[in-house]
Amino acid sequence: MRGSKCPGYREFTEGRWERCSVRDSGIDQGGDVHILVINSGSSSIKFSLFDSGMGEPRSLFEGEVTGIGGAKAGFKFRDANGRDLSGGRSEVEAETPVEAIALVVAAVSDQGLPKIEAVGYRVVHPGAKLDRHQRITPEVMKDLEEAVVFAPLHDPAVIEVIREMIERFPDVAHYACFDTVFHETMTEAATTYAIQRDGGGGWAVSGYDDGTYADGWGGDGDSAGGS
């Protein structure tokens, strides 16, 4: 599997990003680092702006765009104290993920808000080549595009969002954090389905708790999959 240990993130567990240190990521460590975290689904985007500081990351602002692709999408944006910052825009136009992320960018780029210095994305399934949370490069993007078959309802939307965000924030670090990384620590016996395969090669199917699976041809190492 391809991928180096991501310097920016640890695990995405229990619905949140654990530690968001950006040490060794090339970001100036002279002060607090502000990290925008995006959880993009097939019809919604949830986002939070964190202050990493020197201790545990602290959420400053959070919001969501729901009902993407519908006649009207929902929009929420609030600070850490729950104060509504949406400007009364509870309904917005967001027919595509790109239109939805534009609303997010407008919200977090408002005057007086901290400058975004890193962006992290939750990705459901990275396929068989990526096995670590990591900084997004052109090669990583190529691997993600090849892996959409593993999560066809979720990965295409997040890839659109990532591309749009890299274009809008070209000078900050972008990181992908994968749901399946936790399962890399599981034993082969726990992840392999109980199906017969001969010793000369054959299909090896591994399951994940998120409902996806990876299957690889044992003879030449190529892989494919679905969900």
Give residue-wise pLDDT tens across range 132-185: 888 999 998 898 888 888 888 888 899 999 999 999 999 999 999 887 777 777
Kindly report, residue by residue over 115-134, the tens digit of the pLDDT.
999 999 998 887 777 778 88
pLDDT given at position 146: 86
Global confidence as pTM: 0.69
Catalytic residue chosen out of the listed positions 171, 179, 209, 215: 179
Give the residue-averaged pLDDT of 86-109: 93
Clarify whether residues 76 and 151 are in a common domain.
Answer: yes
Judge whether 6 lies within some domain. Answer: no
Clarify whether residues 126 and 64 are in a common domain.
Answer: yes
Residue 219 structural domain: 188-226
Cα 26 from Cα 79, distance rounded (Å): 28
- Could you confirm whether 179 is annotated as catalytic? yes
Judge whether 2 lies within some domain. Answer: no
Number of domains comprising the chain: 2
Clarify whether residues 26 and 100 are in a common domain.
Answer: yes
Clarify whether residues 192 and 90 are in a common domain.
Answer: no
Clarify whether residues 92 and 44 are in a common domain.
Answer: yes
Clarify whether residues 146 and 170 are in a common domain.
Answer: yes
Clarify whether residues 79 and 115 are in a common domain.
Answer: yes
pLDDT given at position 78: 95
Region of poorest pLDDT, from 9-18, 60-69, 77-86, 173-182: 9-18
Burial class (CB in 10 A: 0-12, 13-18, 19+), 156: middle
pLDDT of 204 strictly over 70: no
Clarify whether residues 169 and 195 are in a common domain.
Answer: no
Mean pLDDT across the chain:
76
Clarify whether residues 221 and 140 are in a common domain.
Answer: no
